[in-house]
Chain A
């Protein structure tokens, strides 16, 4: 099912919002294309996990949040970081371990955090941030900030007990948290149905948590649902649990190249050709006369140029000085 078949007619007064959704998704794709290239060309140390294909999830949800709302992210976290408002320059610096990175180069791809925009950080322990997101919701409720937190996690995290412990408490205490389960069909190198018994959403329903399922390739559907749930969470109607059906284009990590043993090339080609969140949303924007193909093409070029400039900047940027190695172990008194 493509976006143009499911979406309601465009509202011209929302044109700026639509274009922003498109631009944010394009930014994530451009970021990941560059990160992938940096890694494959040996310029990026360590390991990284691409978000390409899942852009509508991060953007649809984060566009419903304010800057002060909190998110927690995953090892596949570049998309959440961009969607929550981060800048390319500080992100690429972080991925390359440079001093101007968001975390002074100490976190890297798997721990990138952007406090100023409410991103409490990517997390390299699968499901490891479920407590943090729930705790942020507890703090928001206790401090009366009206803040909402979103816990992004993949289908793989459904195997972790921590998630169930904190969902139980979130339900008992009616916390303003949204559990966003990105089902990209594979946990590392294994199909979700081989690892998760029963229905995914049934897990949250058992706690009495209101659950939703949405096409995670349809940015408008995701955003519409997120706007509604965020608004309701602010009013104290949370928590909520959302399963977002999506797909990751790359392997589990960059370097997971030969993966036909767990998924076919035909399947990958089908998702890219028929269910790409950016392509389909672009078609809808054109069909609804919100933008012309030329305008979208120009937008894509602008974003690509911006990404390239940030990469060049980050490659030339200095590493942190040696005296930072034991800095930030403890908060300075």
Chain B
């Protein structure tokens, strides 16, 4: 199978869907000729023209709101939010308007739109360009939330998101744009709410979202050399969440650590750990572990920033401690 970058996978997904459906438009800051700062969208305006690839002013709430209205009246807009941190700017339009419209109208109106944005620290971009805020939107009923962990997932999930009749927020890890993975030439979709077992193992389950997949895979390799076999589950979408696949894995291994790059408190690790504790408690041989980003604003200094996110080394150490039955001291 050919290998392409995550960036190229996103670009292909959008281009294929736009060729298929003329009601799809894409809007955001510098999405046309500039192709975004990450160059993910390069070439789209040349193919689809400025009427469908709309460069907007720097007005995140404004163009998100326009997308909501267009979605309610026959279009399928894709909003490009340049940094995930800007979610705070669009919260009213996304959470009070888009998320609630179908429900508040008793099912008469719907908002088939996609908000593409990114996440991920260690790019030395400091506290306002490094956050992973997916838990915030996952908290709001009415939104779906996808978190691709490779180029393959990025393409399949984005195509599904574009065809979904609900507002979907999709988070791409900005450090993975140049990472390559096998992506078939032929068309495929990845259904929402279907986790993927990335690696099978008998001793401990790692539930890992987005780029934490790479952390989990490296940790699992290290552990395997020591005779510890970790199973890795990628939820792929956190809303809807494939609880069954996670629980089945934990029932088999009896141990679990949830790894996610959002802040650890009140986030995705807490939610998934709680569900495991509620629904697989009697299968557990150890408390469910959690590894999220530290509860600090993301610092600029590389020496500090690297301390704030889960790493393969820390995850492996945490897994060993779990298997030894040691109590957890660190947060």
Contacts and interface: CB of A to CB of B under 8 A. Distances in A.
B51 interface: yes
Contacts of B93: 128, 131, 162
A208 B68 CA distance: 25
B102 interface: yes
Nearest to B144: A330
A151 to B, nearest CB: 9
B149 to A, nearest CB: 23
Contact of A131 (B62, B103, B104, B105): B62
A330 B144 CA distance: 9
Interface in B45-60: 51, 54, 56-57, 59
B71 interface: yes
Interface stretch (B72-80, B114-122, B275-283, B318-326): B72-80
Contact of A107 (B72, B73, B105): B105
A161 B57 CA distance: 14
A111 B73 contact: no
A1 interface: no
Contacts of A257: none
Contacts of B66: 131, 134-135, 138, 166, 169
B103 A142 contact: no
Given A168-B57, A330-B166, A132 B65 contact: yes
Given A138-B66, A329-B102, A330-B166, A131 B61 contact: yes
Interface residues of B, number: 43
A113 B75 contact: no
Contacts of A265: none
B330 to A, nearest CB: 37
Contacts of B57: 165, 168-169, 172
B107 A132 contact: no
B69 A104 contact: no
Nearest to B164: A331
Contact of A331 (B67, B96, B104, B166): B166
B132 interface: no
A133 interface: yes
Contact of B75 (A103, A138, A161): A138
B67 to A, nearest CB: 6
Contacts of B67: 131, 135
Given A133-B69, A136-B69, A165-B61, A113 B97 contact: no
A16 interface: no
B302 interface: no
Contacts of A129: 97
Given A104-B107, A139-B74, A331-B165, 13 more contacts: A72-B69, A107-B105, A107-B106, A121-B109, A135-B73, A138-B69, A142-B75, A162-B61, A165-B57, A165-B65, A328-B106, A330-B166, A331-B112
18 contacts: A103-B104, A106-B103, A115-B109, A120-B69, A121-B104, A128-B65, A131-B61, A131-B62, A131-B67, A131-B97, A133-B69, A135-B65, A137-B69, A142-B70, A165-B65, A169-B66, A329-B102, A331-B102
Interface of A: 70, 72, 101-107, 111, 113, 115, 120-121, 123, 125, 128-140, 142-143, 147, 149, 161-162, 165-166, 168-169, 172-173, 327-331
